[in-house]
Each structure stands twice: as structure tokens, then as C-alpha cells.
Chain A
Amino acid sequence: MQETQLLANGFSAFAATLKRDLLVAFKRRNDLLNPLMFFFIVVSLFPIGITPEREALAEIAVGVLWVCALLASLLSLDNLYRSDFEDGSLELLILSPHSLYFMVLAKILSHWLVSGVPLVLLSPILGYMLALPEEAYPTMIITLILGTPVLSLLGSIGVALTVSLGSRGLILAMIILPMSVPVLIAGTLAVGQAVTGNPVGGHLAIMGAMLAMAVSMAPLASAAALRISIN
């Protein structure tokens, strides 16, 4: 009886946090657009910097898309806890009797919904601009759907650890970028396999496993890190 009560409380805290964060994000629409435009601009620098030839572009398209998605998600991560830290609502979240795990998970989910999902939606256009072979599109979209939440989850640990620092941009990148390597490898491999017409099921399963592991562990680490940062 008590356990179901706790779980129900957890879910209501989850829903309330998610609703609030989405509302806050909606009120600051312009902030949301910036990482997306960054993604667009950086991707379009590659053809200019390397070569406009379609064959050469097709070869690097997957890697460019994944690296740019990683950088864009890194830039948008600052929104995850920063404003809540500055106006003190993060302290209230920690002091509240509800499980911090669910609230952190809700914050990460809302971050993914407003930064990861638009990135996924934009990716076919950028894939076309980079001359990505047609047969790779479904795999690219699926890997991005599986991979961008992992980036948000890992990023949440890094932001939670550094939220109390004044200038955290560089150190956040130093913490998160090496950790994102497995996602990057799995994502590029899967799309590379799709380009050459090989089966991609195994790679997608590995990405799913990474997502499952990140969902279950990253909010715990983030919650612990937040408690440490707030003191």
C-alpha cells in the first residue's frame, strides 16, 4: 500500500516537473531555436570547408551529422539546470519530499523534447544537404531518436556537477564529450552499415541498451551530483 502511494507521488512529481519545464521552455522559444540554428550552421560549414563534391560529402555525412548533434546538445544543456539554480527553484526541488530521481528524469525528458526532437526532425534536411545516400535515412533517424536522449542523460550528469561554477562552458565540454564517444561510435556505425546495405539490427540493439542503461543510472548520478552542488 505504502509503496504504491510512493510510486504515485513519484509520478505526480514527474508529471508536474515535466509540465512546468515544458511551459518554461515554451515561454523562452528563442533560446530553443539557437542550438538548432547552431546545428544547421555548423553542418553547412563542412561542405564549404572540405569539398562541395557529393561523393566526398556522402562519405563524411554521417560523422558530421553526429558530431554536430553532439555539439548542439552540449550547447543546449546549460538550460537544463542553470536558470533553476539561479532563481533558487532547484533548492526547492531538492528539499521537496518527492524522489529527486523522478524530477530529474522529468527535467531530462523535457530537455530532450525541446532540444533533441527538433534536431531529429531537422536531420533529414541536413542529410540531404550532405548528400547522404537515400537508404540511410530511416537508420539515421532511428539512431538519432535512440542516441540524443543518451546525450541529454549523460549531459545532465555533467551539468549537475558544474552547475554551481561561474564559467562552466569549457569544463562541461571536457566532461561530456569523452563520455559521449560510445554513442557516437554506435550511431555512425549503424548509419555506415545502412549505407553499405548491411543489416543494422545489432547496432540499434546496442544503442537501445545504452539508452536503457543511461535512463536507469544517469538520473541517479545527476540527483547525487545536484545534492552535492547545492550543498
Chain B
Amino acid sequence: MWQWFHRWGSPKWFYDLSGRWLPWLTGALILFLVVGVVWALLFVPQDYQQSYTTRILVVHVAVASTSLAFFPIMAVAGTITLVWKMKMADMVAKTVAPLGAWFSALTLASGSIWGSVMWGTWWEWSDSRLTSMLFQFFLLISVISLRSALNDSETAAKACAVLSIVGCVNVVIIKYSVEWWNTLHQPASALSMNSGSANGPAFWVPTLVMVIAMYLLMAVHVMMATRNEILRRESRSQWVQDLVLAAK
């Protein structure tokens, strides 16, 4: 068990393994993404209340559910960085943060597009999900800017690890406090997005396909970015130099 865990700490091992996994993951990603997008945008049936806008929701729900995974990933990677001082964990944390900010921004954007049709407004403070997603986006940006402000990469790694753990706890508290804020202002929100999932398999199967596609997209992107980061940080080591020379 521990040997298996320690092997993840080796950049070379990760580079080799991810090199073998990437083609498969990319293939699966393309499959799920094409099926999911085509199904979601062309074939999801019309809802009797929301008409064709449920098709936006399929994409939106997938992006949103993926964007919730980023802070936990960063907190776990941060814990590994602080406790076991594993370089790989920090490389992953570094590549995950900007992607998380993108996913949060896309969640907000796709949500607003849907909201502009269904709610008649692009932004609604009284929806707790919008507000808490906005603050998750802000916190991710603060982690990214802290990393770019600190020059020494080891200090940056540990400082971002602490901020990620604190931020992860904070995102949960923000989520609950925002919900609590709204239940008092606007009880039993009629705007709840859960109404969409009541549509049965015609809605949730394509949503599931899209969710899997988005998680695969995250995995592929994180792996590729982490490989770049490995090459950048390990550029002095022998195996990277051999690799670069062989590629020429």
C-alpha cells in the first residue's frame, strides 16, 4: 500500500503512466463528449414548462457538478504537500486551480444563459447556487494569484496548500450560509433547478453522459498540464533531457 502511494511521488513514474493512460482517456473523452453534446443539444425532449431550455441545463449541470470537485482535490493535494512533502501533489494542485476557475466561470456563464431565458434575468442574487458559485470562483482566483505572487516555488506550494485547505472549509460554510440567507428572504424557491431532473431518464441519462464527459475532460486536462509542469520543473534531471533529445 505504502509503496504504491510513494510511487505516485515520482514525477518520472507519473509521466510514464500518464503517457500510457492519456490516449485511452482522450478516446473515452471524445466519445462521451460527442455523444453527450449531440444528445443534449439536439435530442433531449421538450419540457412542458421549460421547452427546449432543458438542453442548456444538461450541459450546465455537468459543468457545475464537476466544478464542485476542484476545491476538495486541491485540499487533498495540499494536505499531501504539507504532510508528505510530495512534489507531484503540488504540481497537480497548481494545474487544477486555473482549470477550476474556468469551470466555475463556465458554470456561471451557462447558468446565466439558462436563467436569461427561464427567469428573465442574467443574474439573480436570491439564488443561493449562483452566489456561492461566484464566491467559489473568487476563492479559486485568490489561490491562483497567491501562487503567482510568491516567487519561491516551495513557499508557494506550501502557502497555496494552506489556503486551499482553508478555502475548501470556507466554500462549504459559504454555501450553507448563502442558502440560509435565501431561505429567509425567499422561501421554497420556485426557481429550483431540481424541477429539471423530475423529467425522468430522457433527461438524466444524457446528463450522466455529460457529467462523465466533463470529469474525463478534467482528468485529461489535468494530466496534460501536469506533464508540462513535470517537464518544466524537472528540466535539469537526466531523464527529461534524454526525453527531449530523443524527441529531436
Contact = CB atoms under 8 A, between A and B. Distances in A.
A106 B29 CA distance: 53
B8 interface: no
B138 A182 contact: no
Interface in B166-217: 166-167, 169-170, 173-174, 177-178, 180-181, 184
A221 B150 contact: no
Interface stretch (B39-47, B62-70, B155-163, B220-228): B155-163
Interface stretch (A54-62, A75-83, A160-168): A160-168
Given A165-B150, A206-B180, A224-B162, 13 more contacts: A161-B162, A162-B146, A162-B149, A165-B149, A171-B149, A174-B138, A178-B138, A178-B142, A182-B174, A185-B177, A185-B180, A217-B169, A221-B162
B83 to A, nearest CB: 11
B3 to A, nearest CB: 29
A221 B78 CA distance: 13
B25 interface: no
A179 B162 contact: no
B145 A225 contact: no
A186 interface: yes
Given A171-B146, A179-B170, A185 B181 contact: yes
A44 to B, nearest CB: 26
B167 to A, nearest CB: 8
Contact of B135 (A171, A181, A210): A181
A175 B142 contact: yes
Contact of A228 (B135, B145, B158, B184): B158
B163 A181 contact: no
Interface residues of A, number: 26
A177 B137 CA distance: 13
B181 A189 contact: yes
A231 interface: yes
B141 interface: yes
A99 interface: no
A144 B130 CA distance: 27
B93 to A, nearest CB: 14
Interface in A214-228: 217, 221, 224-225, 228
Contacts of B139: 178-179
A229 interface: yes
Nearest to A167: B149
Interface of B: 82, 135, 138-139, 141-142, 145-146, 149-150, 152, 155, 158-159, 162-163, 165-167, 169-170, 173-174, 177-178, 180-181, 184
19 contacts: A157-B162, A161-B146, A161-B162, A162-B149, A164-B150, A171-B145, A171-B149, A174-B141, A178-B138, A179-B167, A182-B170, A182-B174, A185-B180, A185-B181, A189-B184, A206-B180, A228-B158, A228-B162, A231-B152
B177 A182 contact: yes
Nearest to A173: B142
Contacts of A210: 173
Q: Which 6 A-B pairs have the closest CB atoms?
A: A182-B177, A178-B138, A228-B158, A174-B142, A175-B142, A185-B181
A224 to B, nearest CB: 6
A181 B177 contact: yes
A7 B82 CA distance: 26
B135 to A, nearest CB: 5
B150 to A, nearest CB: 7
A96 B181 CA distance: 44
A206 B178 CA distance: 13
B180 to A, nearest CB: 7
Nearest to A183: B177
Contacts of A165: 149-150
Contact of A174 (B145, B170, B177, B178): B145
A188 to B, nearest CB: 9
A205 B57 CA distance: 38
A1 B170 CA distance: 38
B145 to A, nearest CB: 6
Contacts of A185: 177-178, 180-181
Nearest to A188: B181
A186 B176 CA distance: 11
A28 B66 CA distance: 50
